[in-house]
Structure 1
Amino acid sequence: MIDNIANTLTDGPSLVFFAFALLAIGGAIFMISFDRVVHMAVAAAFTFLSLAGLYVLLQAEFLAFVQILIYTGAISILMIFGIMMTRHQDGDQGPRNRLQSVLAFVGAAGLFGILFWVIQRTDFNSQPFEPVEDNTKEIGKLLFTEQVIPFELVSLLLTAAFIGAIVLAKREGD
């Protein structure tokens, strides 16, 4: 098991993967740890950029571009505009419960340990991967042939969520 870890850590792409993975995990932890909403939005954008780097390592350039364009750009800017246009009360942040923090850390460490153990024990199929010429074309083919029903269901779900948000916003305004 230790030899497997040593071999993995000496490989260049694996080191870059671990760097992006740690940056993504760190950004996510900072996002849930910060008290100010603007700092949370910046940490979320940092996590989105790290995930785009992971997509580039997986040779999914289209997904990396979409990740940067939609999540890092549009969603982060939308969150910041939402923060700027609403009122926030400073203070009234009660002290954190120490027992809750300790239990959260123990739970996270336990989950990490279980995941590490399972990944080390799993025998992954090492079939040769043959990347396609044009990722975007293949994604389009899959979306409009084999995955057309889930694609349409997601569009209906997003439309229903959009209409629901409008109805809720209209009720709050009245």
Structure 2
Amino acid sequence: MFNIAITGEFVAFFTLSAIMICGAVLMLSLEKVVHMVISMAAVFIGLAGMFVLLEAEFVAFVQVLIYAGAVSILMIFGIMMTKHHAVEQEPSKPLHQTLAAIAAISLFGILFYAIRTTTFPEQQQPFQPGEDNTMAIGELLYTGYVIPFELLSVLLTVAFIGAIVIAKKEAD
């Protein structure tokens, strides 16, 4: 039925997929927020590995640098700056769990069917493998997208200042 050759790329894909899925499940199921952030960082690192498999080394580097590094550290600082009170969870209801399981399985089935039946057109690669894509990304970012890039940096700065103000109000 399936004619699959077991290659190093195939093994790396499934290893990285397992890391990402385990990290995502752990993030949803762990109770300590710091442990959640660490499992989220594992998902980000697995995604960076996927980018390496796609020969997008620059994007993988940025993924590790920005998301696995900076965002995770920022979230840990945010957790440490705010007060957290223990919240008792109400007992889970079996009807809700059953409906959630049915919804998840249905979503998986719909997505699986959609992916298997979709025919994708041949794409022309804008970059040839082995080329220096970093230079092309930099030129495109600083010529065609310089205004959105600068607006994003202002937005992130305002969000960070807002988070500090909110944390200060809670401390007082």
Aligned to 1:106: 102
Q: Out of 139, 162, 169, which is 1:141 matched to?
A: 139
Identity of aligned residues (%): 54
Equivalent runs, 1:13-162 vs 2, <5 Å: 13-84=9-80, 88-89=84-85, 92-127=88-123, 129=125, 130-131=128-129, 133-162=131-160
Residues 49 and 132 (structure 1), Cα distance of their counterparts in 2 relative to 1, 3 Å cut: same
Structure 2's unaligned 5+ residue stretches are none
The aligned counterpart of 1:165 is: 163
Cα deviation for residue 90 of structure 1 reads 5.0
Check 1:85–1:167 CA distance in 2 against 1; reply closer, same or farther (3 A cut).
closer
Deviations 1:14-71 (A, max 9, x none): 4432332232122112101112223212211111111111010111111211222222
**Cα-Cα RMSD:** 2.5
Aligned to 1:10: 5
CA distance in 1, matches of 2:108, 2:19: 16
> How far apart are the structure 1 equivalents of 2:73 and 2:164?
20
Structure 1 unpaired stretches of 5+: none
> In the aligned structure 2, how far is the partner of 1:149 from the partner of 1:156?
11
Measure how far apart 1:153 and its partner are.
2.6
Change (3 A) 1:165 1:88: closer
Bigger RCO (CA 8 Å, 6+ sep): 2
Q: Which amino acid in the other structure matches residue 107 of structure 1?
A: A
Following superposition, the deviation at residue 94 of structure 1 comes to: 3.1
CA distance in 2, matches of 1:161, 1:101: 35
Q: Which moved more, 1:129-138 or 1:85-94?
A: 85-94
User: Are residues 91 and 166 of structure 1, via their aligned partners in 2, closer, same or farther at CA, if it must alter by over 3 Å?
Assistant: closer
